[in-house]
Amino acid sequence: MSATHPPVTILVVDDDPGLTRLIERELRREGYQTAAAGSGAEATGWLQQHRADLLLLDLKLPDIEGPALIEAMAAMGRSVPFIIITGQGDERVAVDMMKRGALDYLVKDVNFIEFVPTVVRRALSQLDKEQRLAAAEDDRQRLEREILQISEREQQRIGRDLHDDLGQQLAGIWLFSDLLKTSLVEQGSPEVESADKITTLLKDALGLTRSLARGLHPVAVQAGGLVAALDELATRTSDMFRIDCRSQCPPSIDMDNTTATHLYRIAQEAVTNAVKHGLAKEIDIELSTNPHHTVLSVKDQGKGKGKGKGIAEPDPKHRGMGLRIMSYRADIIGGILDIQRHPSGIGTTVVCTIPTPHPQPATIPTHG
């Protein structure tokens, strides 16, 4: 065994002492540590004090049957991967136990002892693969969370820069041009019309810059949090794309900034997809809450490009990315994302349902 990994410990639970000794002998030859128990009570008592990596379990014990022992172990928080040991003729029961989670089974026949090490190695190899896959999945999810956090921080930084820097400069230039226009009017200059156009363009640019800033950093910078951000999203979408985008939300909702931000980004992505891929002319953003669940829904009336694509069906070249991000955001906040296609083929609804969060103490956003 590797010096960095402790030997595998296998608990053999069987009421036949002679057979148990033979099993232990074979397993120790393979380098495994073993322990033995002759009853269910003895097995649970041992597990309360020790840890086992694998269990070899006889289906029929003097005080309890195998399935009941597995349930008892789970109830006490001591579940252990297990292999079933059964007598000849009980293979059907063993197969049923595999459906309940057994890794494999051994039949007590003339070749039983010979097969024990092979079956154990196979089970441990399966466990090792599952653990490696689980670790890889954990790493992947951690990396995705970090990428989203970095992306969110970068969007917030750009939003603050647009609002505090570019926005302020445009405001100053706009005011300066307005003063210039006033002066030209007083002088009766023929350039008044040009100055007026420049002033109007600067005013529009300032409004667009502030709108973009709110879109990039929507929740924390606004009084009212998510409700205000969704209202602003609807207004901005209507103005920019000349469509009817409506927001229906409660007057206020208690929610931490992390949850609110993820819900807003889900709504933002759904609205963007509805406009880009669904050719929507009407979009409804709704937020509702009760003591158990909070539900965000974005419904479009788009007919899509050719075959009725909507929120759920972006351009094939980019298929799935937005939906994966929305689903992942929902998962981060403990929610479920559901895509509902209208039976008529016209319109799609994105629904995110999360447990209603408990009220959080008010916090003051920082710009660190």
Does 166 fall in a domain?
A: no
Decide if 108 contacts 117 (C-beta within 8 A).
Answer: no
Most trustworthy range by pLDDT among 57-61, 119-123, 152-156, 191-195: 119-123
- What DSSP letter does each residue of 196-213 carry, written as one string? HHHHHHHHHHHHHHHHHH
Tens-place pLDDT, residues 108-117: 888 899 999 9
60 residue type, one letter: K
Q: Are residues 238 and 365 in the same domain?
A: yes
Closest by CA position to 152, among listed 215, 200, 202, 197: 215
Does 54 fall in a domain?
A: yes
Does 243 fall in a domain?
A: yes
Within 10 angstroms of residue 43's Cβ, the number of other Cβ atoms is 28
Q: Which of 109, 137, 164 is the last residue of a domain?
A: 109
Taking all residues of the chain, what is their mean pLDDT, rounded to a whole number?
82
CA terminus-to-terminus distance, the chain = 50
Q: Are residues 105 and 228 in the same domain?
A: no
Q: What is the mean pLDDT of residues 310-323?
A: 53
Please report the pLDDT score of residue 363 as a whole number: 43
> Count of residues for the chain?
368
Does 148 fall in a domain?
A: no
User: What share of the chain has pLDDT > 70, as a percent?
Assistant: 85
Cα angle 304, 305, 311 (rounded to 5 degrees) comes to: 40
Longest dimension (CA), the chain: 115
What phi and psi values does residue 37 have, to the nearest 5 degrees?
Answer: -140, 140
3-state secondary structure of 214: helix
Q: CA 187, CA 281: separation in Å to the nearest integer?
A: 47
- Output DSSP code: residue 4: T
Q: Are residues 93 and 228 in the same domain?
A: no
44 residue type, one letter: T
> Within 13 Å of residue 350, how many CA atoms lie on the same side as its CB?
31
59 residue type, one letter: L
Does 3 fall in a domain?
A: no
Instruction: Band the pLDDT of 119: cuts 50, 70, 90.
Output: very high
Please report the pLDDT score of residue 278 as a whole number: 66
Q: Which of 109, 127, 153 is the last residue of a domain?
A: 109
Check which CATH number belongs to the domain holding 301 and give it. Answer: 3.30.565.10
Does 272 fall in a domain?
A: yes
Q: CA 46, CA 55: separation in Å to the nearest integer?
A: 12
Please report the pLDDT score of residue 1 as a whole number: 43
Does 86 fall in a domain?
A: yes
Within 10 angstroms of residue 243's Cβ, the number of other Cβ atoms is 19
Q: Are residues 231 and 359 in the same domain?
A: yes
Tens-place pLDDT, residues 169-189: 888 888 888 888 888 888 888
What is the side-by-side order of every strand in the sheet holding 33-37? Answer: 33-37, 9-13, 54-58, 82-87, 104-108
What the block records as the tokens of 322 is 């937005």
Q: Are residues 234 and 362 in the same domain?
A: yes
Please report the pLDDT score of residue 215 as a whole number: 66
Q: Are residues 230 and 365 in the same domain?
A: yes
Give the number of domains in the chain.
Answer: 2
Q: Which of 109, 137, 159 is the last residue of a domain?
A: 109
Q: Which pTM was predicted? A: 0.53
Q: How many helices (H) and strands (E) does the chain have?
A: 10, 10
Per-position b or e across 212-234, b if 16+ CB within 10 A of its CB: bbbbbbbbbbbeebbbbbbbbbb
Does 206 fall in a domain?
A: no
Q: What is the mean pLDDT of residues 40-49?
A: 92
Instruction: Band the pLDDT of 39: cuts 50, 70, 90.
Output: very high
More confident residue, 55 or 272: 55
Cα angle 54, 73, 125 (rounded to 5 degrees) comes to: 20
Check which CATH number belongs to the domain holding 44 and give it. Answer: 3.40.50.2300
Domain with 81 in it: 9-109
102-105, long-range: CB < 8 A, 24+ apart = 103/54, 103/127
Q: CA 82, CA 53: separation in Å to the nearest integer?
A: 9
